[in-house]
């Protein structure tokens, strides 16, 4: 019985951390899009992750795992926004 409870807690920890990281990446992407600087989304996620680490909240396994997922999410956001910028046509003459 205790093994089942431990397994369910571990699954909840992993899935909850992943959901938090996904929400944070989505929020950063939306915020960067509203500021018309899509490539800043990864920087926003890394800044928030750094705040979590430096504030001393890393005693929790949930925050540690969420921070790791946020770093991977920031790498994903960086790659996807760089490819969108490369596909965007250049405007000339203010048109």
Q: Where are the domains of the chain?
A: 2-87
- Residue 49, pLDDT > 80, answer yes
- Residue 94, pLDDT > 60, answer no
Angle at 24 between CA 20 and CA 26, to 5 degrees: 115
In terms of C-beta density within 10 A (0-12 exposed, 13-18 middle, 19 or more buried), how is residue 30 classed? exposed
Of 29, 20, 9, 28, nearest in space to 65 by CA = 20
Residues 10-24 have a mean pLDDT of 96
Radius of gyration of the chain (CA): 17
What digits encode the pLDDT tens for the residues 71-90? 999 999 999 888 766 566 65
Residues 29-44 have a mean pLDDT of 91
């Amino acid at each position: 019985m205790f093994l089942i409870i431990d397994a369910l807690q571990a699954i909840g920890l992993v899935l909850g951390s992943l959901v938090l990281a996904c929400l944070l990446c989505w929020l950063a992407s939306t915020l960067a899009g509203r500021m018309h600087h899509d490539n800043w989304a990864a920087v926003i996620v890394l800044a928030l992750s750094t705040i979590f680490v430096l504030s001393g909240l890393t005693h929790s396994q949930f925050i540690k795992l969420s921070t790791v997922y946020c770093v991977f999410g920031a790498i994903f956001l960086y790659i996807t926004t760089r490819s969108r910028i490369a596909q965007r046509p250049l405007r000339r003459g203010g048109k």
